Amino acid sequence: MPNRKKKTTIQLGKQPPQYRFFLNPYQDMRWTKCPQCDSKMHQRKLPLVIHVDPMNLFSLNKTCRYCPHCDLLIAHQDDVEHFLASFFTEQKPEVVGNDYLVLGTLERPAWKRGTQQPMSLQEMLEALHDFKEVVTFKLTGGWVRDETKVSAKKGRRTV
């Protein structure tokens, strides 16, 4: 049997995976309604964990859109990139322009501790909930799941 669906992503976090995640690339779409079921979306503030090449993990407490029916979490790519650009320009200018990937969410108690003192990579991974799935949607008359994408997609920053 051909092993076509070879898993390329491994679970990094020690916590159970949570949420299906969509990093929204459409600046004019703010998703007040769910692209999948058309229900009104809720807001949920969560510490997102972001990996920036080569080896930087950090968390960003961010208000995302959330649909409880679909367990779908949406963050806006331009917001995330705006934050990355300003954060790293100050803290670590040599990584500005590198690839990044939103990995999952951080347990809230761990995130709180992290605001008091810097967390090690190991502490971050201990408290990380990977995403269950990373999804994308595209417009073709209506919004449909883009099944051509595989697993987590790397975004490229343009700063």
Residues that bind Zn ion (CB under 5 A): 34, 36-37, 67, 69-70
Minimum distance, C-beta of residue 25 to Zn ion, in the bound complex (Å) = 19
Minimum distance, C-beta of residue 47 to Zn ion, in the bound complex (Å) = 23
Minimum distance, C-beta of residue 31 to Zn ion, in the bound complex (Å) = 10
Minimum distance, C-beta of residue 66 to Zn ion, in the bound complex (Å) = 9
**Phi and psi (nearest 5°) for 23?**
-90, 105
**Beta-strand runs (E) in the chain:** 15-24, 42-52, 56-67, 72-76, 100-106, 128-134, 137-140, 142-145
Nearer to Zn ion among residue 67 and residue 103 (C-beta): 67
Nearer to Zn ion among residue 7 and residue 40 (C-beta): 40
* C-alpha torsion 80→32→17→15, nearest 10: 70
CA separation, residue 57 to residues 1, 31, 44, 122, 153 (Å) = 38, 27, 22, 10, 17
Nearer to Zn ion among residue 73 and residue 102 (C-beta): 73
Nearer to Zn ion among residue 12 and residue 70 (C-beta): 70
- For every residue of 121-138, DSSP letters joined together read HHHHHHHEEEEEEE--EE
Reading the block at residue 36, the tokens are: 């999948």
- Point out the residue whose Cβ comes nearest to Zn ion: 34
Minimum distance, C-beta of residue 72 to Zn ion, in the bound complex (Å) = 6
Nearer to Zn ion among residue 41 and residue 119 (C-beta): 41
